[in-house]
Amino acid sequence: MRDWRFWVAEQRGTLLAFGIFVVMFIIYVSNHPAGFNSNVVQTASNKAVLLAFVAMAQTLIVTTAGIDLSVGMIFTLTNCLASWIVIGAPLETAFGVMGVLATGAACGAVNGAIVIFGRLQPIVATIATGAIYFGIALALRPYPGGGVNEDLAEALTGKIFGIIPASLVVLAAVVLIVWVPYSRSALGRAAYAVGSSEVAAYMSGLPIRRAKFLAYTLSGLLASIGGLFLTFFTYTGEAALVSGNNYTLFSIAAVVLGGVSLYGGTGSAIGAIFGALAFRTIGDLLFVFDFDPLWQPLFQGVVLMLAVSLGALALLRVRNRLEWFR
C-alpha cells in the first residue's frame, strides 16, 4: 500500500529522532555497570522527562513559525509556585496542582496575546516576558525552599508495578490527553498551517488568531507540567536563572533533534520528546563510558553540532541553488 509511504514521509523527522534515541539508549544501557534494570531506566527517565515537557511546550510554538525564549522561565516560575501551594491535604494539593497548571497556561496566554494582538515578533516578545516570569519566580522564592506533597511526589516519580517509571507514564498520558487531540483538531491543524504559510492560511480563511492563542496557552500548560515535576523531584522551588535559561536553550536543541523544523509547519511533539530523551542520553553516555566529567560539556556540544549538521546532508541533493534560500 502506498499509504504507509506517505505516512512515513510525513513523520520523517519524528522517526529519525526515535531512531537516534533508541540507538543511544541501547549503547547507554548495554554499557551501564548496572545493566538494563528498572532503576537505571527510572533515573534516566526522571531526568529526561523534565526536558521532554519543556520541549513539547517549545514544539507548539515552533510549529507556528515562532520561538519561545520564555519557556524555561515558565518552567521555573511554576516550580517555585508549586513549592508553595502543592502541599497539604489531598484537596488542597489538588487545588494547588490546578493553580500551578492554570498559572502556566496564563503565562502562555500572555505570550500569545502579546504576539498576536501586539503583533510583536515572538523571539523578542518572549525575551521580555521571560524576564517578567523570572522576576515573579524570584519574588516567590528569593532563596531555594518550600516543599511539596510528598506522597504525590513519590508516587509520580517512582515506579508503577515496580518496573515502569511513573514519570514516563505521566508523559505518555500528557501526550495522549493534550498533544494528540490538539494535533488532530481543526485549530491544531490551523496552527500548523499558520507556521507553514501564514498568507495561505489567511487566504484559506483559517482562524489564525485563535489557533495561535491555543498553541501558546497549551505551551504554557505543558511547561508548567514540567515545572510541577521538577518540584516533585527536588521537593523545593528554586529560581535559578542559569537553569531556566538552559532549559529554554536545550528545548530548542531537543526540538531540532526531534525533527521539528524551526521554520514552522512540520514536526510533532512526539519527535521533540525523543529529541529531549536523546539529548539527555548524550550526557549520560559519558558517565557510562567513564569519561572524565570534565569533557562532558564539550562532548555534548560536539554531538549537538553533529546532530544538527545531519540536516545539511540534504543539501547534497539540491539541484537548483535557488533552493538554498527560503
CB of 260 to other proteins, least distance (A): 11
Decide if residue 158 touches other proteins (CB under 8 A): no
Closer to other proteins by CB, 17 or 168: give it.
17
Decide if residue 184 touches other proteins (CB under 8 A): yes
Decide if residue 177 touches other proteins (CB under 8 A): no
**What's phi and psi for 45, nearest 5 deg?**
-65, -45
Figure out which of the listed residues 19, 88, 135, 158 binds other proteins, where binding follows CB under 8 A: 135
Contact by Cβ (8 Å): 211, 60: no
Strand, coil or helix: what is 145?
Answer: strand
| C-alpha cell read off for 125 | 516578545
Closer to other proteins by CB, 290 or 319: give it.
319
Figure out which of the listed residues 252, 272, 277, 278 binds other proteins, where binding follows CB under 8 A: 252
Strand, coil or helix: what is 58?
Answer: helix
Figure out which of the listed residues 160, 198, 240, 283 binds other proteins, where binding follows CB under 8 A: 198
| C-alpha cell read off for 136 | 515573579
* Residues ≥6 apart with Cβ < 8 Å to 325: none
DSSP H helical segments within 179-207, as ranges? Answer: 180-184, 186-196, 198-203
The residue with cell 523570572 is 134
Distance from C-alpha of 44 to C-alpha of 235, rounded to nearest angstrom:
18
Closer to other proteins by CB, 167 or 266: give it.
266
Q: Within positions 280 to 319, which residues make up the interface with other proteins, using CB under 8 A? A: 293-302, 304-305, 308-309, 311-312, 315, 318-319
Closer to other proteins by CB, 38 or 261: give it.
261
Q: Within positions 48 to 87, which residues make up the interface with other proteins, using CB under 8 A? A: 67, 69
